[in-house]
Amino acid sequence: MVQRLYSAAMPPDQITKTRADQPLWPTLRRFLPYLWPAGETRLKARIVGAMLFVLASKLVQVFGAAYTLKYAVDRMASGDRSLGLLVMLLVVGYAASRFSTTLFDNLRNVTFERVGQDATRRLAATVFRHLHQLSLRFHLERRTGAVTKVVERGTKSIDTMLYFMLFNIAPTVFELALVLGIFWTNFGLWLVGSTVVMVAAYITFTRIVTDWRNALRARMNDLDTGAVAHAVDSLLNFETVKYFGAEAREGRRYERAMEAYADAAVKSENSLAWLNIGQALITNAMLGGGMAFVAWGWSQGRFSAGDVVFVSTLLSQLFRPLDLLGMVYRTIRQGVIDMAAMFDLIDTPSEVVDVAGAKPLDVSDGHVRFEDVRFGYEDGQPILKGIDLDIPAGHTVAVVGPSGAGKSTLARLMYRFYDLTGGRITIDGQDISQVTQASLRAAIGIVPQDTVLFNDTIGYNIAYGREGATHDEIVRAARGAAIAGFIERQPEGYETRVGERGLKLSGGEKQRVAIARTLLKDPPILILDEATSALDSRTEAEIQTTLQSIERGRTTIVIAHRLSTVVEADEIVVLEAGAVAERGTHADLLRKGGLYAEMWNRQAQEREDGEALAAE
């Protein structure tokens, strides 16, 4: 029973299961624009140039290397030693042909490298931008490690698929056509038919076994993704792990995930041995049969000694890309799986989108209205039930209430992280659902309860408030947030790094950085979402003074749990169960003796009890 409860408490892996039977052609069709980008003449020229090098390599390989070696052997077999110089020249020509093949292959790679890297860059940028456009709901439900692993695999696969499709499959088909033509002309239908049957058998065997292996690899990748997702999640929450002494538990869980991955990886890699054995059997049977046929023809006086070497050379050269064909097919199939998972991310629709013809928000005064606002995160579970608020320009309205009343939801709806299920929110008479999200969010600044900073410098985190801010503007914002003195006392000043999520700073210091960032943005509308509730009383009092100074002249919504922080608000709105229970000034609400007065008295008693305990 204990084990069952423990398992039920484990968080689900919010990852997309890999499909081993992912359709090939739909994904490839979607991938083609990255291969042949519209308007990129230089990249297209590079592709054409690379293909010309491919053709040159194959022509030299088939006609240059094979024929020169055949003629050299025929001259030597004739016994005419006066042809020694010619034979030497033919042998040198054979070596030169082999070198030319290598030269053309590498020139092809040099020419094409920019195409592959550019395709990878554009695809990665497309995915990254789309991820930032997705709704808050998506990012709350997905696991960061799983998403990054999908993107990493998908972007890496495009360069590999470009390379193999252009420089292995197409050249192999071209070379096969050349070889069949030569066999038809020189050796007749039997050798042509045998070669075709061999290639067909090779491809069929490779596809069947590879599809089986892909199922194993799909399972392996799912386990790998899950292990990485858990590892990232565990490391991001290392404090919680330490709070509960769960280091060993996390280690065991990760080890179990890696053990399952290792078992799947062993099965996948062992299956490769069977594929290689079968491929080698088919190709060597053809090589032996082809050479035996030519040797028999030589014994009948139909073929020369050089023809045996000629057929051996052509088949060996053909087998080289065919030997890679199994790996190529596996790689392309795996690339399709990886790219399809990434395209699934790109296809994930954004829950909140700009309406057609949306115009930028024009903020003249900053008058905010909530008109019969209704909202629920899940269907049938309303959070807000007809909220009406009128916040005149330059006024401060506080929203208070018990936990779960819907206070912080108001801030998310102001930013339009979600669309309303009823009613509307307006700024200066403009419905925020009808304006562009970028202009709406540019007009609002927020100091959140949980300030999460980038793992960069203090200066960078403050400058994040407005792109292109100068150092002097950053310093002024820091002074306005009363953190400039702290920064200047650091050995590296504004270049001081704050650590992962800003953990090198105290709670008060992080809040001041958040205030400075908002000051630098200088928005006409300000939201303070429980900006001091996580701080001690002394730090809260210091930051409260700073907050009151930046509220002046701005339309401000203060979401608070501690009522002592909102007594100066122009109006206080009390929410209960998603509806407005009371509204008025601090004094008015105390006189009413309702929910606000009850909350005030309870918090006052808690403060008195805390002070008495501290005095003992």
Q: What is the pLDDT of residues 365-416, one digit of tens each?
A: 899 999 999 998 887 788 898 899 999 998 999 999 887 788 888 988 998 9
Nearest-angstrom CA–CA distance, 610 and 138: 41
> What confidence score (pLDDT) does residue 411 get?
87
Measure the CA–CA gap between 549 and 480, rounded to whole angstroms: 9
DSSP for 37-54, please give it: -TT-HHHHHHHHHHHHHH
Q: What is the mean pLDDT of residues 112-135?
A: 77
Looking at per-residue confidence, does 7 or 65 come out higher? 65
Query: Which of 25-39, 71-85, 255-269, 329-343 has the lowest average pLDDT?
Result: 25-39
Torsion 189-194-199-201 (CA) sign: positive
Residue 467 has pLDDT above 80, yes or no: yes
Joined tokens for residue 22:
């992912």
Instruction: Determine contact, residues 479/471, Cβ cutoff 8 Å.
Output: no
Strand order in the sheet with 525-529: 444-447, 525-529, 555-559, 396-400, 571-576, 579-584
SS3 call for 373: strand
Q: Which residues of 171-198 are buried (b: 16+ CB within 10 A; e: fewer)?
A: bbeebbebbbebbeeebeeebbebbeeb
- For residue 20, pLDDT beyond 70: no
The average pLDDT across 251-264 equals 81
CA 434, 131, 8, 403 torsion: positive or negative?
negative
Position 536 scores a pLDDT of 63
Give the position of tokens 């995930």: 257
Summarize the confidence of residues 185-202 as an average pLDDT: 87
Token output for 399: 């929203």
Q: Is the dihedral of CA 430, 432, 437, 442 positive or negative?
A: positive
Q: How long is the chain? A: 616
Residue 572 sits at φ, ψ, to 5 deg, of -115, 130
**Predicted TM-score (pTM) of this structure:** 0.63
Question: How high is the pLDDT of residue 146?
Answer: 66
Q: Which domains does the chain have, with CATH numbers?
A: 16-347 (1.20.1560.10), 368-443+523-615 (3.40.50.300), 459-517 (no CATH)
CB 204 within 8 A of CB 277: no
Which of the residue ranges 118-122, 196-200, 314-318, 583-587 would you say has the lowest mean pLDDT? Answer: 118-122
Position 614 scores a pLDDT of 55
Query: What percent of the chain is predicted at pLDDT more than 90?
Result: 12
- Across the range 112-122, mean pLDDT stands at 79
The whole-number pLDDT of residue 584 equals 92
Which stretch of DSSP H or E encloses residue 582? strand 579-584
pLDDT digits (tens, 9 = 90+) for 157-189: 777 777 777 777 878 888 888 888 888 988 888
pLDDT surpasses 50 at 316: yes
Measured distance between the N- and C-terminal CA atoms of the chain, rounded to whole angstroms: 46
Tell which residue, 235, 324, 323, 239, has the closest CA to residue 281: 323
How far is the C-alpha of 582 from the C-alpha of 252, rounded, in Å? 52
Dihedral sign computed on CA atoms, order 490, 493, 495, 501: positive
7 pLDDT band, cuts 50/70/90, is very low
| pLDDT tens digits, 126-155 | 777 777 777 667 666 665 566 777 777 777
- Please provide the DSSP assignment of 499-566 as one string: -GGGTTS-HHHHHHHHHHHHHHH--SEEEEESTTTTS-HHHHHHHHHHHHHHHTTSEEEEE-S-GGGS
When pLDDT is cut at 50, 70 and 90, the band that residue 301 belongs to is confident
Give the pLDDT band (50/70/90) at residue 15: very low
**Cα Rg, the chain, nearest whole Å:** 35
Contact, 411 vs 368, CB < 8 A?
no
Q: Which tokens is 334 given?
A: 């795996």
Q: In this predicted structure, what is the pLDDT of residue 440?
A: 92
Backbone angles phi, psi at 187, to 5 degrees: -130, -10
Within a 13 Å sphere around the CA of 314, how many CA atoms are in the beta-carbon half?
30
> What pLDDT shows up at residue 573?
92
Position 103 confidence tier, pLDDT thresholds 50, 70, 90: very high
Tokens of 525: 């509308």
**Which amino acid belongs to residue 61?**
Q
Give the mean model confidence (pLDDT) for residues 252-258: 82
Contact at 8 Å (CB) between 72 and 61? no
- For residues 544 and 513, the answer to whether their CB atoms sit within 8 Å is no
**Better pLDDT: 2 or 46:** 46
Residue 204, pLDDT score: 87
Residue 142: the pLDDT is 63
For residues 6 and 279, which has the higher predicted lDDT (pLDDT)? 279
Confidence of residue 612 (pLDDT cuts 50, 70, 90): low
Q: What is the pLDDT of residue 14?
A: 39
Burial zone of 225 (CB within 10 Å; 0-12 exposed, 13-18 middle, 19+ buried): buried
Question: If you average pLDDT over residues 248-262, what whole number do you get?
Answer: 82
Q: d(Cα 472, Cα 482) in Å, to the nearest integer?
A: 15
Q: Indicate whether 537 pLDDT > 70.
A: no
Which of 70-79, 156-165, 226-235 is the least confident region?
A: 156-165
% of the chain beyond a pLDDT of 70: 89
pLDDT score of 368 = 94
Q: What is residue 432's predicted lDDT score, i.e. its pLDDT?
A: 93
CA-to-CA separations, 226 to 17, 67, 203, 341, in angstroms, rounded: 10, 55, 33, 14
Whole-angstrom CA distances from 16 to 13, 41, 389 are 9, 37, 41
Average pLDDT along the chain: 81
